Amino acid sequence: MNYSLFIARKIYNGGDKTRKVSKPAIRIATIGVAIGLAVMIATVSVVLGFKHSVRNKVIGFGSHITVADFNTLESSEQYPIQVSDSVLSALRRIPGVKHAERFAYTQGILKTDNDFLGITLKGVGPEFDSTFIHQNMVSGYIPTFSDSKTQQKLLISKTIADKLGLKTGERVFAYFVNGQGVRTRRFTICGIYETNLRQYDSQICFTDLYSANRLNGWERDQYGGAELLVRDFSQLDATALNVLQAVKNKVDKYGATYSAETVIEQNPQIFSWLDLMDLNVWIILALMVSVAGVTMISGLLIIILERTQMIGILKALGSRNRQIRHVFLWFATFIIGRGLLWGNLIGIGLCLLQQQTGLVSLDPQTYYVSTVPVELNIPLIIALNLSTLFICIFVLIAPSYLISTSIRPSRCTTNNAAPAGTWPAAPLKTHAEGRCSRRPSCPCSIYGTPEKACKNRGFRRPEIYIRLAENFYTYRNIFLTASP
């Protein structure tokens, strides 16, 4: 049995009601740790949820990696590139790539009887991954897109629908201007989506790849490029390097040069803004850990000051300063542990409540989401718990040295008489009632020993041991109460 742990458990489980100062201090320290951890869990979960929500929306309109003509990636103009079935299969076999699909963009104008609006038409083929759009559908359905024939179906955003007053099932004229002149198409609105990502919702409409390809006047195997999804976003750079090595310096039969670019390189402003949130998280974590540490330091100092007599007795009994410091560090660990337990319950409970009910709402035009997104990351929560525990214990090491530098047994023990009927049986006498003439500090007269029976000629500083005997009854519960 660890001696320091044993004493700390006795103190923590003893529930001494006479400690009117330390009990509120312990309660405040526990609350401080609990609130600090709950805020940290909520902050990390909300920031993670927000970053991943915005990131997934940007990726949903495109991909993790885009393979296209070198000139397309370096300018705002679009140049076609050959993406045959063999090229698409080769891209799918690259390590780290989960999915590959073709795309083509073209610019146009939607016109109704009362208004018109410029749009970007994105053509997608049968391999199009519609998971993201399906999650953000408002009304209608997602058509089956084709690369061999046109269905004249159009999927638009709620922003565009509201501006033009369009509903699902209605038909709308679209005009496209390029080097071949003005081309007109009449599309049927089959579905309306809403992602709250304003810069995309205000422009992007989806149609079949065949229509976009024909409107651009390209060959049947020419497209805007290929969009690749990776298996692990944390390995995006490594996968992008594999893709770049696979297509680098490759030229198709039309003379176009292949190149690749990641979604981060295509949208540097958005991802830089998201990265700035990490700084806010670190600041909040540092503040919350500081609050927990300060409350624990103040609580430990109060506990030490109230336990000075116990410390003196333990020292007089032979306990080393290191052992007594460990007693209070173990005691602080119990307090921190209780605070961490309540902090986890509060923090995770609030996150689950928001996740299931969407209790706290946001302005989607400003924050891109309608409710506060929450993402619980269990390994990260465990790391927060362990780091909070270790940091709080670490900052308590210096205050614990107060035990060895400021507390002496001779100063913290007092002449408190033992209760009647307990050891020592004989009533205690003061030095004034009888003092040994041989040695003023001799305790023999205190216990009624005749002067001639005194054998303590070489006894030094006996008052320490007298006080120890008188106070031992008060602290015997430390050793005799609940079993270890």
pLDDT in tens, 198-232: 889 999 999 999 999 989 889 888 999 999 999 99
Based on the domain organization, do 274 and 401 belong to the same domain? yes
Tell me the one-letter amino acid at 214.
Answer: R
Based on the domain organization, do 369 and 286 belong to the same domain? yes
Based on the domain organization, do 104 and 234 belong to the same domain? yes
Domain that holds residue 169: 80-255
Last residue of a domain, one of 376, 409, 442: 409
| Residue 431 located in a structural domain | yes
Rounded Cα–Cα distance for residues 214 and 80 (Å): 12
Q: 220: which DSSP letter? A: T
Q: By the 8 A CB rule, do 409 and 313 touch?
A: yes
Residue 442, classed as helix, strand or coil, is coil
Rounded Cα–Cα distance for residues 76 and 104 (Å): 14
Based on the domain organization, do 222 and 350 belong to the same domain? no
Tokens read off for 69: 């003509």
Last residue of a domain, one of 255, 290, 308: 255
CA nearest to 59, candidates 131, 154, 116, 164: 131
Q: Quick count: other Cβ atoms within 10 Å of Cβ 17?
A: 7
| Residue 74 located in a structural domain | no
| Assessment of whether the complete model's pTM goes beyond 0.85 | no
CA nearest to 61, candidates 190, 243, 201, 260: 201
pLDDT of residue 343: 94
Last residue of a domain, one of 409, 428, 456: 409
Based on the domain organization, do 220 and 344 belong to the same domain? no
Average pLDDT along the chain, 484 residues, taken 10 residues at a time? 78 60 77 91 92 91 92 87 90 93 93 91 92 92 89 92 92 87 90 91 93 89 93 92 89 90 91 87 88 84 77 76 83 89 94 91 84 92 92 85 67 49 40 44 44 42 47 48 44
Based on the domain organization, do 227 and 139 belong to the same domain? yes
Based on the domain organization, do 157 and 145 belong to the same domain? yes
Q: By the 8 A CB rule, do 333 and 17 touch?
A: no
| Residue 72 located in a structural domain | no
| Residue 75 located in a structural domain | no
| Residue 63 located in a structural domain | no
| Residue 162 located in a structural domain | yes
pLDDT of residue 302: 79
Query: How many domains does one find in the chain?
Result: 3
Tell me the one-letter amino acid at 5.
Answer: L
Rounded Cα–Cα distance for residues 9 and 149 (Å): 78
Q: Quick count: other Cβ atoms within 10 Å of Cβ 419?
A: 8
pLDDT of residue 22: 64
Rounded Cα–Cα distance for residues 192 and 161 (Å): 8
Which residues, in sequence order, are CB contacts of 378 under 8 Å at separation 6+?
Answer: none
Over residues 187-197, the pLDDT tens digits come to: 999 999 999 88
426 class by beta-carbon count within 10 Å (0-12 exposed, 13-18 middle, 19+ buried)? exposed
Based on the domain organization, do 88 and 233 belong to the same domain? yes
| Residue 356 located in a structural domain | yes
Burial 179-217 (b: 16+ CB within 10 A, else e): eeeeeebebebbbbbbbbbeebbebbbbbbbbbbbbbbe
Q: By the 8 A CB rule, do 454 and 442 touch?
A: yes
Based on the domain organization, do 103 and 243 belong to the same domain? yes
- What are the angstrom distances between the C-alpha of 54 and each of 61, 124, 233? 11, 22, 14
Q: H-helix or E-strand containing 279?
A: helix 268-306
Q: What's phi and psi for 169, nearest 5 deg? A: 95, -20
| Residue 390 located in a structural domain | yes
Based on the domain organization, do 84 and 203 belong to the same domain? yes
Helix crossing, 85-92 with 236-247: angle to 10°? 140
Angle at 145 between CA 190 and CA 180, to 5 degrees: 95
Which residues, in sequence order, are CB contacts of 426 under 8 Å at separation 6+?
Answer: 447, 448
